[in-house]
Amino acid sequence: MIIAGIDMGVQNTRAVIIKDNVVIGRGAAPTGGIDRPEMAMKAYEDALSAAGIAAGDVSKVYATGKGKFDVAFADAVLTETVAAARAARFYFPEATAVFSVGADETLAAALGRERLISEFVLNQKCSAGLGIFITYLARRLGMTMAQAAAVDVADACAVNDGCVVFAELDALSMMNSGEDADAIMAAAIKAVAVRAATVLCDLTAPVGDKVVLVGGFTQSPAFLKALSSCMGREFLVPDDAEFCGAVGAALAGAEAE
């Protein structure tokens, strides 16, 4: 059976085609604004093209992500937590927890044996928009996202890690006092890592030693280093980390049928 998953995030949309539990095609598009339904279709068509099949060959399409209700052609929608958890188990069958840090949402789930998810935590207002903040700050600092992802966080100074609004004010103060862009970005990434970590720490169930990290921030070595440093643990990052939402939606959706 061939199934498809679409993960429409706040900034990026990913699509995958899965045949017999193997990902055979991937597609991506910026989520866009008012044209989100078209962007979902574009990512899907890219994935179909990469898989070398037509839409008619796909049995079911499952959507997840903040924009999941804009994927008009989806047969069903799934919550981001369920999709992330299912993907974590797909890539790492021994996974004990999943941790997703994206443009808007941060979520953590402890994975169980009898039930896939034994406990979950979604960020509340104060941890929303971490990825969007870094994107915005990079633009302001004249950096590309690749440059932002490569800064050295080892000796970064601290900015406010309670709220990105305050973090931004601290970053502006650093700009005004002549700090260089790399140092400002490093401080911001460190703050974002601390803020994201609070969500994982909010789980009361033991997270175990195999925590799978997914979401857009997996593409930032600087963030990975800052997160590992502040939490004192390493994370398992799938090769396909950016596509995990889509993979998980497809698998969990099909299993729920």
Question: Binding-site residue total for another protein (CB under 8 A)?
Answer: 21
Q: Among 2, 50, 53, 76, which residue sits at the site for another protein (rule: CB under 8 A)?
A: 76
Interacting span for another protein (CB under 8 A) from 16-24, 55-63, 116-124, 137-145:
116-124
Q: What share of the chain is helix, strand, coil (3-state, %, to 5)?
A: 45, 20, 35
92 HSE (CA, 13 A, CB side): 23
Residue 124 interacts with another protein (CB under 8 A): yes or no: yes
Q: Is 205 in the site for another protein (CB under 8 A)?
A: yes
Q: Which of 16, 117, 181, 213 binds another protein (CB under 8 A)?
A: 117
One residue of 177, 204, 232, 239 binding another protein per CB under 8 A? 204
* Minimum separation from the CB atom of position 42 to another protein (A): 26
Tokens of 148: 């932002």
Tell me whether strands 97-101 and 76-77 are parallel, antiparallel or unpaired: unpaired
Rule CB under 8 A: say whether 217 interacts with another protein: no
**In the bound complex, what is the minimum distance in angstroms from residue 8's beta carbon to another protein?**
14
Angle at the Cα of 209 (from 9 to 247), degrees rounded to 5? 30
CB-count burial class (<10 Å; 0-12, 13-18, 19+) for 142? exposed
R_g of the chain, CA atoms, integer Å: 18
Using the rule CB under 8 A, give the single segment among 23-31, 109-117, 144-152, 188-196 that binds another protein: 109-117
> Minimal distance in Å, beta carbon 78 to another protein?
7
Which CB sits closer to another protein, 76 or 163? Answer: 76
Distance CA 101, CA 10 (A): 12
Interface with another protein, residue 176, by CB under 8 A: no
- What span, in angstroms and rounded, lies between the C-alpha atoms of 29 and 38? 10
Q: 14 vs 68, which CB is nearer to another protein?
A: 68
Q: How far is the CB of 177 from another protein (least distance, A)?
A: 33
Q: Is 119 in the site for another protein (CB under 8 A)?
A: yes
Nearest-angstrom CA–CA distance, 154 and 146: 18
CB 153 within 8 A of CB 220: no
116 touches another protein (CB under 8 A)? yes
Angle at 219 between CA 217 and CA 223, to 5 degrees: 55
**Cβ atoms of 16 and 245 closer than 8 Å:** no
Contact between 109 and another protein by CB under 8 A: the answer reads yes
Nearer to another protein by Cβ, of 85 and 164: the residue is 85
Residues that bind another protein (CB under 8 A): 76, 78-82, 85, 109, 115-122, 124-125, 204-205, 256
